[in-house]
Amino acid sequence: MARKKTPKSADAAPVPAEVTLQPITDTIEKNYMPYVMSVIVSRAIPEIDGFKPSHRKLLYTMYKMGLLTGHRTKSANVVGQTMKLNPHGDMAIYETMVRLTRGNEALLHPLIDSKGSFGKIYSRDMAFAASRYTEVKLDAISAEIFRGIDKNAVDFVDNYDNTMKEPVLLPTAFPNILVSPNMGIAVGMASQICSFNLAEVCDGTIAVLKNPELSTDALLDIIKAPDFSGGANLLYDREAMRRIYETGRGNVVLRSRYSYDKEAGCIDITEIPYSTSIEVIMKKITDLIKAGSLKEITDVRDEIDLNGFKLTLDLRRGVDPEKLMAKLFKKTPLQDSFSCNFNVLIDGSPRQLGLRGIMDEWIRFRMDCLRREFSFELERKKEKLHLLEGLEKILVDIDKAIRIIRETVKEKDVVPNLMQSFSLDETQAEFIAEIKLRHLNREYIAQRIRETVSLKKEIFDLESLIASERKLKNRMVKQLEEIKNTYAQPRKTKLIYDDFIEKYDEKSFIENYSVKLVLTKEGYFKKITLPSFRMSDEQALKTGDEVMQIEEAENISELLFVTDKQKIYKAKACDFETKKSSVLGDYIPSKLGFDDGERVMAMKPIEAYEQNHYFIYIFENGRGIRVPISSYETKSARKKLVNAYSDAAPIVSVFYETEPFDILLVNNAGKGIYIHSSLIPEKATRTAAGATLFALKEDQKIIYASRTPEKHYSGFEKCRKNKLPAIGIAVTKK
């Protein structure tokens, strides 16, 4: 649709004569979607051969340069040659190369043999040397990546400027997609494929080839879990592993490997999770030391050298190394998780597959490669047989063939004359005409003809092989067994089970002792040791403030602070420093991050979330409710709970009930009811409005609720009520 726009006055800014309106959906479809698909298909998501386009172009360039068998060459040479296929900057190509090298240690089976400094996967600060200083060639296992590529095993397409050909995929003879880890972020999707042990992958693929109905449990027994080049330990959870194998999504938890040097009083970390780096770990440990949370460690040092990875932690005397490591695993990236997201391009379309799905797709792909490779060999052998059959025809009269060649006046007539004299086709006649004169003898020709017997047998075998899926699978099995026997290596990542894991118990690291907790109406809080509290029980307070609660607890107790904004804040008594009675203490709204105007209504130390313990809430509208304390128990270490109770009316008071007690409620008309807490109904839903306790008139509200009313009122005993809701009786305020 179009519309004309004209200026309203001569002074108005010029307006385009015509504006075209286009639906945003059309704009996305025409302009954005091609970019999205380009990133997904041509950059970020690996295909079934286990490579992204950048990897494939680099490796094929090295293959064409003869670096599979020759000497190493400067990395700069490879980068320059790769630009013929990959129109990107030299640094982007070089960074792709770095990750594939033996020196970088990112892969279980490096595809590039390297010399020089290529950095390390476990360090983000160890930079690789410039490409002019390093040397590379293809590693031996790369021969299996290119097996059959010169025999039409895969399709080839033109490069970006149509000057040469490049493979669409590489005909990997083993499931490289599962052996080499791969990560990529596209638009709207990402891929994170972890690596598995080559021997286990070969065995698992062989098992699937022999039994297409192989169950996930049987596959789990063969391919036990991912295997990472950095080693470390994997916390094995069979059910979690099953989900990854079936869906392609899930997390595997990796834990660093360490040793304790008793004489030196230090812990040496020798392997860390694949998903982190030494700099990240050191920063987190250093931050915890500065915050006073890691008093057990006196120093942390990077001791990486030519012998490999090493991170050293110096310990204070008397520290239990096992307990300390349990703490570090909980609080630092020394224990980290690898998030699996098996997105793979299949026939140009992204698909999320489980382990078995990837193996099935790779088997389909590899069988097609083998079928094409054997078809190529079959055609070559048929062509050779055809030529030898022509050679056989001249064996009956070699002299005639020589005479025809010798007596033919024009060169262009040699082939037609041979064709006519011996009933040959043009290809056969060309082959005979090109034979050297010294070979035009009966012995040579008879020897060549004898090859036809073996050649016919080979052709028959190839035709039956191509036509039989079972024979193709047997050939794949044989190749996988050869690869396993040649390149397999033991697992680097060890599996550990729950029974052998040292559990982190935060309480074991906290010095425990009895304390008194003091909370004032203005929100000031003090944790006081018992000896200090006995010396002076008179508390320093701001003018107009008063003590609201004094509770006994332990230093490891969990504290719940209930506010007037339907929130409960959680903290630990050990989070607060001990104070003396002569100081004001910590201001809770600032300490716990209250919202503006939010104030604390009650505080309670909790040892356990008992079923028969309750929070009792009394509201201005005369309603009340008992909520089980178990309703506030959380699995994670949450610091703030919202919607802790109903927001239907402002809160007046909060009580903690372990045993029933009496409560006096007083309204703004000076009337009160004195009730037993057991009369207040229990509700499992935290935000329930509760039941009416005090029958109020329209302009009345509750202004006071206390379990110790004798401090402020007299004559309240006459207000006792045994049924609810109840009408108030006048009380006398002291």
CA distance 94 to 84: 14
By the 8 A CB rule, do 664 and 598 touch?
Answer: no
Give the residue from 214, 121, 227, 129 showing the smallest Cα distance to 178: 227
Residue 133 annotated as catalytic? yes
DSSP string of 427-467? Answer: HHHHHHHTS-GGG-SHHHHHHHHTHHHHHHHHHHHHHHHHH
The Cα–Cα gap between 63 and 100 comes to 14
Q: At a CB cut-off of 8 Å and minimum separation 6, what does 288 contact?
A: 294, 331, 332
Q: Is 716 exposed, middle or buried (0-12, 13-18, 19+ CB in 10 A)?
A: buried
Active-site residue identified among 32, 35, 133, 513: 133
- Asked if 344 and 177 touch (Cβ cutoff 8 Å), the reply is yes
> Rounded to 5 degrees, what are φ and ψ at 292?
80, 10
Per DSSP, 150 falls in state G
Whole-angstrom distance, CA of residue 344 vs CA of residue 355: 11
Which tokens hold the place of 85?
């296929």
- What span, in angstroms and rounded, lies between the C-alpha atoms of 133 and 19? 57
Q: What SS3 class is residue 684?
A: coil
Q: What share of the chain is helix, strand, coil (3-state, %, to 5)?
A: 35, 25, 40
Q: Are 520 and 341 in contact (CB under 8 A)?
A: no
Q: Give the largest CA-CA distance in the chain.
A: 145
Angle at 441 between CA 435 and CA 444, to 5 degrees: 75
| Sign of the torsion angle spanned by Cα atoms 187, 189, 195, 200 | negative
How far is residue 395's CA from residue 599's CA, in Å, rounded to a whole number?
Answer: 111
Distance CA 273, CA 311 (A): 13
CB 443 within 8 A of CB 402: no
The backbone region for 348, taken as left when phi is positive above 0, alpha when psi lies in -120 to 50, beta otherwise, is: left
Q: How many CA atoms lie within 13 A of 486 on its CB side?
A: 13
CA dihedral for 353, 356, 358, 360, sign (positive or negative): negative
Peptide bond into 725 cis (omega under 30): yes
Tokens of 428: 């056969």
CB burial of residue 406 (10 Å; 0-12, 13-18, 19+):
exposed
* In contact, 351 and 130? CB cutoff 8 Å: no
Instruction: Identify which of 270, 243, 240 has the alpha carbon closest to the alpha carbon of residue 255.
Output: 270
CB atoms within 10 A of CB 359: 24
Residue 347 amino acid letter:
D
At residue 329, the 3 state secondary structure works out as: helix
Retrieve residue 388's tokens.
Answer: 């030898």
**Does residue 169 contact residue 227 with C-beta atoms inside 8 Å?**
no
Instruction: Please say whether the beta carbons of 536 and 581 come within 8 A.
Output: yes
| SS3 of residue 278 by DSSP | helix
The set of catalytic residues is 133
